[in-house]
Amino acid sequence: MNIVVCVKQVADINIPIELDPETNSIVNEELAYIVNPYDMLAVEEAVRIKEKTNGQVILTSLGESSAEMTLRKCLAFGADRAILLCDPAFADSDGYATATVLAKAIALFQYDLVLCGVRAIDTNAGQVGSAIAAMLGIALVTGVTKIEVLADQKKVVVQRKLEGGNREVLETPLPALLTVEAGLNKPTYPGLPSMIAAQRGKIERYNIKGLGLSLNEVGSRGARTHTVRLSPSKPRPRKIFTPDSSLSAAERMRLIMSGGIAERKGDLLEGEPVELASRLIQFLRQEKLLPQ
């Protein structure tokens, strides 16, 4: 079974992001990049399926040259090929234009299954996987938390994550595209030999000409959405503590100085072990924590 996994290099959202007020854009020089966590789940699952079905895993990513490191990290997990879709014309692509490029690349290969992260943590849009499936004309299942390939390798049975912790079980014919959700698996970290081999592995490249696309299909020209404004998140307002006016001035002052944190009071039991055990059981029964 041949599996294609779409991988994205994203900014680490745990590091503060700086905005340029003049260009209304993110300052890229200050960013640290990681592999999109949901895509890592897809890579891990693809490798597990490959080991059971004797297939191959093809990674594909749209990005700048720096995205090679992302692909190499994923190669170390056991993928067979890595494709980087890199061209200045791809800059400023939105979800739709990105899907156009990825779908064109995926169509070049023989594939049975396409896996994508349910969303990227930098935009949280969750649109690319659905758009790719529509462009390829294949079945789509989103929010997948479990994948089972049937013996004939012509269908898969999956579980979808629903609200309230519920699950939906679906069967779909292949080829199909699945967007995977947290809980699908726990990625295993590759060993040193795999990491070294990944650094030496070949990264295949395709540009706009190699994919047979026009300038009107990619970048800002091919985008269906455009960013109007970026702004930092608003800080959460702090709750203002107001002491009860019925308390004395001294008590109100004490509460203000303590920040409204009430002192926890407790009883210290002292005595012989047998006596302490008896008093403890009596206390638990009074609190109805033990039967009378």
Q: What is the average pLDDT score of the chain?
A: 87
- Report how far residue 275's alpha carbon sits from residue 266's, in angstroms, rounded to the nearest whole number: 19
The CATH code of domain 2-222 reads 3.40.50.620
Radius of gyration of the chain (CA): 27
At residue 38, the pLDDT reads: 95
Q: With left for phi above 0 and alpha for psi between -120 and 50, is residue 94 left, alpha or beta?
A: beta
- Report how far residue 43's alpha carbon sits from residue 117's, in angstroms, rounded to the nearest whole number: 9
pLDDT over 80 at 232, yes or no: no
**CA 258 to mean position of chain CA atoms:** 40
pLDDT over 70 at 236, yes or no: no
Tokens linked to 182: 């947290």
Assign 115 a pLDDT band (cuts: 50, 70, 90): very high
- Mean pLDDT across 2-25: 83
Quick: pLDDT tens for 243-288: 777 888 878 777 777 665 555 555 666 778 888 788 888 877 777 7
pLDDT over 90 at 47, yes or no: yes
- Mean pLDDT across 202-206: 95
At residue 272, the pLDDT reads: 80
pLDDT over 80 at 26, yes or no: no
pLDDT over 60 at 37, yes or no: yes
The dihedral through the CA atoms of 199, 48, 110, 87 has a sign that is negative
- Mean pLDDT across 109-114: 94
- pTM, two decimal places: 0.76
At residue 260, the pLDDT reads: 56
At residue 259, the pLDDT reads: 61
Of residues 248 and 235, more confidently modeled: 248
Tokens linked to 196: 């070294």
Assign 93 a pLDDT band (cuts: 50, 70, 90): very high
Assign 21 a pLDDT band (cuts: 50, 70, 90): confident
Give the residue range(s) of CATH 3.40.50.620 domains in the chain.
Answer: 2-222
- Report how far residue 277's alpha carbon sits from residue 286's, in angstroms, rounded to the nearest whole number: 14
At residue 225, the pLDDT reads: 87
b (16+ CB within 10 A) / e for 152-164: ebeebebbbbeee
Assign 90 a pLDDT band (cuts: 50, 70, 90): very high
Percent of the chain at pLDDT > 90 equals 57
Most confident residue range from 62-66, 113-117, 199-203: 113-117
